[in-house]
């Protein structure tokens, strides 16, 4: 297969983990005989500094021309601490989502047996938890009409039937491929937009008789994720709820640095780690490259290159088993490995496989 990849490394640790992600992508492509080309583009704080725009037109074009975007992370504290800043790196991310029509954000919450002791939850609760959160990504409060006054401010949470239907389709497709259990998370006891979600889901459910569909209020879902994370198989929810619940999901696994994601929709899909740009670690060669590397696995799987994805997952598991780990997950007395060393070990494993 021929693949054109847009590479958006962004800020903070982004360039370091991206280097390893690209190296793994190349190694897998070589092994399986795929022809891959890469084009780098600016985004985030780095793009604001260079051209005054966190998602410049040229980057947009590069993404549109590509088959897939490999994204790392954006953000810089110099913007966080400046409420008067006119443009922020995060706006680049939102612009990318909107312009590429990335309405479906797929965030797997996967636990690795050898890392469950890192979870803030008890081992026996979290071991084996494995679900996917499907977050609607281009609607709701993030993009609804806003007013930002000094005395009054609002954000509106608008959803259309079409937007709800298309994300539910994605969710049902995932449920069909997994354990056939879909949980629709909303706040239908209070919000009109949630009642539309529930109505549309209830209308669609009979088209998927093999899937058990249940409904859960978001407050209850937040609780259930902690009390019984294994309850969930596929969860689908609106933009803001999904933002919050996926952060919760990532930390209960005990391995935030290991979770990849995919955003898909109308144009080029984007693959990225769920963690942020960790500016304090920039240049220190300590960031975990595994979430970026697993995002490459999701990229291959998106193009139905299952064996390629499987090999990356196997290599990642092997690196964990052999304690080839970055400091935040290294075992007591384990050797020192940095971002680069972990990436190189995985590339080497793939070549020899
Ligand atoms: C995420 C992030 C973004 C969001 C921010 C950086 C705008 O938290 O991808 O979850 O809120 O969607
Ligand atoms: Mn978030």
Angle between helices 192-204 and 161-177 (to 10 degrees): 50
Q: Which atom of ligand 1 is nearest to the CA of 137?
A: 12
Nearest residue (by CA) to ligand 1, atom 6, is 90
The position carrying tokens 């996917």 is 132
Burial class (CB in 10 A: 0-12, 13-18, 19+), 181: middle
Burial of 183 (0-12, 13-18, 19+ CB in 10 A): buried
Q: Which domains does the chain have, with CATH numbers?
A: 1-100+268-353 (3.40.718.10), 103-262 (3.40.718.10)
**Which tokens in the block code for residue 268?**
């080029």
Give the whole-angstrom CA distance, residue 281 versus residue 265.
32
Residue 240 near residue 157, CB atoms below 8 Å:
yes
Q: Phi and psi (nearest 5°) for 46?
A: -55, -40
CA distance 268 to 342: 29
List residues with catalytic annotation.
Answer: 142, 187, 219, 243, 247
Rg (the chain; Cα; Å): 20
Question: How far is ligand 2, taken at its centre, from the CA of residue 345, in Å?
Answer: 30
With helix as H, strand as E and coil as C, how does 87-111 read? CCHHHHHHHHHHHCCCCEEEEEEEC
Structure tokens at 61: 């074009």
Say how many Å lie between the CA of residue 23 and the centre of ligand 1: 26
Is the Cβ–Cβ distance between 85 and 45 less than 8 Å?
no
Does ligand 1 lie within 6 Å of residue 243's CB atom?
yes
**90 CB within 6 A, ligand 1:** yes
Determine the distance separating the centroid of ligand 1 and the alpha carbon of 76, expressed in angstroms. Answer: 14
Is the CB–ligand 1 distance for residue 19 below 6 Å?
A: no
Q: Which ligand is nearest to the CA of 239?
A: 1
pTM confidence score: 0.95
* Closest residue to atom 2 of ligand 1, CA basis: 243
Q: Return the DSSP state at 55.
A: S
Along the 353 residues of the chain, how does pLDDT read in single tens digits?
Answer: 999 999 999 999 999 999 999 999 999 999 999 999 999 999 999 999 999 999 999 999 999 999 999 999 999 998 887 777 889 999 999 999 999 999 999 999 999 988 888 899 999 999 999 999 999 999 999 999 999 999 999 999 999 999 999 999 999 999 999 999 999 999 999 999 999 999 999 999 999 999 999 999 999 999 999 999 999 999 999 999 999 999 999 999 887 889 999 999 999 999 999 999 999 999 999 999 999 999 999 999 999 999 999 999 999 999 999 999 999 999 989 999 999 999 999 999 999 99
């Amino acid at each position: 297969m021929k693949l054109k990849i847009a590479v958006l490394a962004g800020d903070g640790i982004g360039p370091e983990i991206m280097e390893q992600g690209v190296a793994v992508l190349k190694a897998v492509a070589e092994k399986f005989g795929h022809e891959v080309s890469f084009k780098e583009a600016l985004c985030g704080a780095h793009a604001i500094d260079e051209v005054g725009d966190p998602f410049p037109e040229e980057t947009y074009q590069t993404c549109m021309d590509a088959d897939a975007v490999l994204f790392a992370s954006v953000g810089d504290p110099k913007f966080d601490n400046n409420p008067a800043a006119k443009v922020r790196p995060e706006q680049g991310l939102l612009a990318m989502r909107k312009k590429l029509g990335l309405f479906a954000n797929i965030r797997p919450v996967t636990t690795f047996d050898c890392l469950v002791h890192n979870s803030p939850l008890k081992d026996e609760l979290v071991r084996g938890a494995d679900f996917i959160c499907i977050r609607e990504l281009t609607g709701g409060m993030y993009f609804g009409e806003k007013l930002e006054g000094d005395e009054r401010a609002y954000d509106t949470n608008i959803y259309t039937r079409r937007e709800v239907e298309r994300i539910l389709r994605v969710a049902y497709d995932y449920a069909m491929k997994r354990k056939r259990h879909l949980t629709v998370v909303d706040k239908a006891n209070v919000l009109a937009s949630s009642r539309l979600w529930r109505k549309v889901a209830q209308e669609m459910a009979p088209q998927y008789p093999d899937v058990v569909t249940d409904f859960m209020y978001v407050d209850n879902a937040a609780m259930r994720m902690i009390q019984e994370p294994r309850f969930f198989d596929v969860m689908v929810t609106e933009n803001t709820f999904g933002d919050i619940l996926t952060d919760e999901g990532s930390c209960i696994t005990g391995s935030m640095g290991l979770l990849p994601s995919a955003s898909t929709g109308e144009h080029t899909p984007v693959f990225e780690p769920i963690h942020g740009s960790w500016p304090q670690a920039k240049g220190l060669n300590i960031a975990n490259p595994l979430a970026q590397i697993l995002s490459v696995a999701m990229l291959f799987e998106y193009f139905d290159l299952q064996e390629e994805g499987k090999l990356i997952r196997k290599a990642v598991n092997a690196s964990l088993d052999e304690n080839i780990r970055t400091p935040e997950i290294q075992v007591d007395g384990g050797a020192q490995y940095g971002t680069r060393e972990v990436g190189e070990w995985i590339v080497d494993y793939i070549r020899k496989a």
